[in-house]
Amino acid sequence: MLGVTIKQVAKAAGVAPSTVSRVIADHPRISTATKKRVKKAMKEMGYHPNANARNLANRSTQSIGVVMPTSADKALQNPFFPEVLRGISAVAHHLDYSLLLSTGETDEEMQEGVERMVYSNRVDGIILLYSQIDDPVVNFLLEQDFPFVVVGKPSERVDEITHVDNDNVRAGKDITSHLINLGHENIGFIGGSQDRIVTIDRMRGYELALKEAGLPFLKDYRIHTEFLKSGGRQAVHELFSIPDPPTGLVIADDLMSIGVVNMLEEFGKRVPQDVSIVSFNNVYLSEVTRPPLTTVDIHIYQLGSQAAKCLIEKVKDRSEPAKRIIIPYEIKHRASATEKEASSKV
């Protein structure tokens, strides 16, 4: 039976609509007896409050917007997204919030989507699933003083923006050091778009580790490519044509690693025998691919769940200060990175 209103329930239970409302909210000003009576009526009539009316009266929507980039980086067929959504969804569901998804092929579309959500009061807060340099969306949200959190590290005004991130610099450094400890001295870096903060941070970690070990930070050892097809193959080929080709590779994303492993084998290099590889994210695949990847598990699910938690706190209490939540990471040691072979030392 659809379209039962609070008035009908009230009439059936012989009370005023306001009383029904209070019963729903479990307000103490209603006696247990009437509560029971009203609840019975609700159940019998199959009453369910209308979310729109409720939200209108409350000036709140009980829903949060999730902004997901898309084709910019095609690598965003990345399992990262389902996983982070899982995390967000879990806590949202638990706290009775709905998720409004917004995606866009271009930056303009994304901006547009966010504006729509904000202007038309469709959501109480927003989670940004990406972070890039000089993002107009972030500026817009700050300007509007609209609650939002970003998953990743904002490029500017870091202290004013609550965000949930890994310590990607340290992770980058740790994983690079791991390679160094395995005896590698020529270590390359392959990352995605240089506009993404996550790429930048991981590369900085890589740089720090090299410096600390007294190894040179060479331009020739770095590749930035949006996507792993034609362009990527070319770049990898060049990387291994230089006089001192790397024997270790730090790669910003597991998915890229898989592509790189295969390119390498195409060029006659084997992983890990000739080249050791480490990367980031620990998506499901990195465990079943061959070789299994040594990778930094960044706890994607937690990134999502914490982001949702923070955002909802902020929404409920606008005076909550900007926070910074760092999710711990964990290196998964698998077969893709091994000690530098004696062969190359000879």
Determine if 144 is a binding residue for DNA (CB under 7 A). Answer: no
Buried b (16+ CB within 10 A) or exposed e, 6-38: beebbebbebeeebbbbbbeeeeebeeebeebb
Q: Is 315 in the site for DNA (CB under 7 A)?
A: no
What is the nearest approach in angstroms of DNA to the Cβ of residue 260?
52
Nearer to its own copies, 261 or 278 (CB): 261
Contact, 328 vs 298, CB < 8 A?
no
With CB cut-offs between 5 and 8 Å by kind, which of its own copies, DNA, none does residue 283 bind? its own copies
Is residue 5 part of the contact set for DNA (CB under 7 A)?
A: yes
Closer to DNA by Cβ: residue 30 or 169: 30
Min dist CB 233 to DNA, Å, is: 53
Decide if residue 11 touches DNA (CB under 7 A).
no
How many residues are present in the chain?
A: 346
Q: CB 18 → DNA: shortest distance, Å? A: 3
Closest distance to DNA from the beta carbon of 58 (Å): 5
Instruction: Give me the 20-59 binding string for DNA, x by CB under 7 A, dash otherwise.
Output: xxx-xx---xxx-xx------------xxxx--xx-xxxx
Residue type, 174: D
CA–CA separation, 168 and 154 (whole Å): 13
Q: Which residues form the interface with its own copies (CB under 8 A)?
A: 2, 48-56, 61, 63, 66, 68, 70-71, 74-79, 81-83, 85-86, 89-90, 93, 98-105, 109, 113, 116-117, 119-122, 144, 228-229, 255, 258-259, 261-262, 265-266, 283-285, 287-290
Q: Which residues bind DNA (CB under 7 A)?
A: 3-7, 10, 14-22, 24-25, 29-31, 33-34, 47-50, 53-54, 56-59
